[in-house]
Amino acid sequence: MNRWTVEKANEWYNAQPWLVGCNFLPSSAINQLEMFQADTYDPETIERELGWAEDLGFNTLRVYLHDLLWADDREGFAGRIDDFLGIADRHGMRVLLTLFDDCHRPDPELGVQPLPVRGVHNSGWKRSPHRDIVLQFHDGTVPENERTRLRDYVHDILGRFADDARVLMWDVYNEPGFKDSLNDLLEETWQWAQEARPSQPLTSCQEGSQGEKNIAFNAAHSDVITFHCYQGELLEETIARHRDAHEGRPLICTEYMARDHGTTFQHSLPIFKTHRVGCYNWGLVAGKSQTHFSWKTVKQLEELKQQGAFLRPGDPIPEPPLWFHDIFRTDGTPFDPKEIDFIKSVVPRT
């Protein structure tokens, strides 16, 4: 294992500004496939929305990739990643790229992506890779060509951008383990990532991952310790616990900010700043992913789909009274102008 030493991790982290940013998906995309497919890649919207992030003082973004995009068109996909990194760089932001993800819908497919289901949080987000492949890794039946494909995806993407200064770091697997024992692909992914060994740090989250084995494996392999925290009352305790548990390695919260759970900007940013913990809130612009609606709305997904309650092109984006995630509407107006003023007052300007 070629994990960074604690000293090297801290040397890297101390050379960074206080890292403040968001998990980014353009409002015109329902998921990471739509964000990066050739027919729907939308640099104009990305450019506009990253301008709003820059105005807040954000200096970093967390972005999800997808294995099917590479399998379908590796050169085109890499070119669009390169273009996106260029846009982010022009707005003063470096990017944390995420390779795999076990969240939400299990059945990704290339091509035209599903319409958003009205008022449902992340109704079209797709896992990477397909749930069936993760299960096959677990029970030992994964076809060798699928294993090779995923290994080559990790090697190729990390290899292409291994020394790219626009890439801040790599999240090898977001929230792995929809069952405690399903960590077989996670273990192989870490092996592949360490074989590629980019110049940037590698990580996979603590809170957010499912199952003690997965959490422990991530803790033992991550150069920098990352975690998710959406509960306001747990934030200080979570930071303190990780400070004690991980040999003084740098801490970064790669997901936070659910207003009705207490992790507002007003609550969270001063805590992160005091402890110099990097932080990425979920979401920037309330768009097709509708993550400004609560997780609770996912319970209505199938019923609303049967009713045909889809958002169609040109339909206005509905809004709940209190937004869950996200900051801006698609026209650039904020959910809460006072929130914008607060963010700007806390985040250092460069």
- Cα separation of 229 and 233, whole Å? 10
Q: Is the peptide bond before 43 cis (omega within 30 degrees of 0)?
A: no
Please write the tens of the pLDDT for every residue from 131-153: 999 999 999 999 999 999 999 99
Q: What is the mean pLDDT of residues 168-194?
A: 89
Q: What is the mean pLDDT of residues 55-72?
A: 98
- DSSP characters over 156-191: HHHHHTTT-TTEEEEEEEES--SSTT--HHHHHHHH
Q: What is the mean pLDDT of residues 81-89?
A: 98
Please write the tens of the pLDDT for every residue from 111-133: 999 999 999 999 999 999 999 99
Per-residue pLDDT, 198:
98
Q: Where does the pLDDT of residue 206 fall: very low under 50, low under 70, confident under 90, or very high at 90 and above?
A: very high
Please tell me which residue, 177 or 137, carries the higher pLDDT value. Answer: 137
How many CB atoms within 10 Å of residue 300? Answer: 18
How many CB atoms within 10 Å of residue 261? Answer: 17
* Backbone conformation region of residue 136, classed left if phi is above 0, alpha if psi is from -120 to 50, else beta: alpha
Please write the tens of the pLDDT for every residue from 254-269: 999 999 999 999 999 9
Structure tokens at 116: 């958003």
Q: Which domains does the chain have, with CATH numbers?
A: 6-14+26-346 (3.20.20.80)
Residue 350 has pLDDT above 70, yes or no: no
- Residue 65 CB partners (closer than 8 Å, separation 6+): 32, 36, 81, 97, 98, 99, 128, 157
Q: Where does the pLDDT of residue 183 fall: very low under 50, low under 70, confident under 90, or very high at 90 and above?
A: confident
N residues, the chain: 350
Average pLDDT, the chain: 96
- Cα separation of 285 and 325, whole Å? 9
Residue 205 has pLDDT above 70, yes or no: yes
Please write the tens of the pLDDT for every residue from 304-317: 999 999 999 999 99
Q: What is the mean pLDDT of residues 98-123?
A: 96
Residue 180 has pLDDT above 90, yes or no: no
Q: What is the pTM of this model?
A: 0.97
Per-residue pLDDT, 107:
95
304-176-263 Cα angle (round to 5): 70
